[in-house]
Amino acid sequence: MPVTARFPERNTIGRMPEELTSTVAADLLGISRPTLMTWARAREIDSFTVGSHSRFTRDEVLRVRAQRAADRAAAHAALREFEAAHDEVLDD
C-alpha cells in the first residue's frame, strides 16, 4: 500500500505562537536562516535572545513579510510602468 494511502494528508488549523524560532521565522519570510540572522544583526528585523537562541515576535515577522510583499508589488508596478513608457524600444 502506498504511503499516501496509509497516511492521508491532514490539515490542521492552529494559532501561530507569539514567539518564533529563527527557523520558523525564516520559513515564514521565505528566506534562509543565515539571511534572517544577517538581517537581525543589521537590525533590519527586531529579535531577542532566550539563552543563546534568537527569537522573533510573530507580529514583527508578519510586519516584515507584509513590507516585503508591498515592496515587491511596488517594484513590479514600476517595472510595468517603465515597460509601458519604453514599449517601442523594448519590442522584440
Report pLDDT digits (tens) over 63-82: 999 999 999 999 999 999 99
Angle at Cα 82 formed by Cα 69 and Cα 86, nearest 5°? Answer: 160
Domain count, the chain: 1
In a domain, 38, yes or no: yes
pLDDT tens-place string over residues 9-30? 666 667 889 999 999 999 999 9
**2 confidence band (pLDDT: 50, 70, 90):** very low
Q: What is the pTM of this model?
A: 0.74
Q: What is the mean pLDDT of residues 23-45?
A: 97
Provide the pLDDT for residue 86: 86
Residue 82: CATH number of its domain: 1.10.1660
Q: Print the domain residue range for 33.
A: 16-86
CB atoms inside a 10 Å sphere around CB 64: 20
Contact predicate 20/61, CB 8 Å: yes
- Is residue 91 included in any domain, yes or no? no
Q: 36 lies in a domain?
A: yes
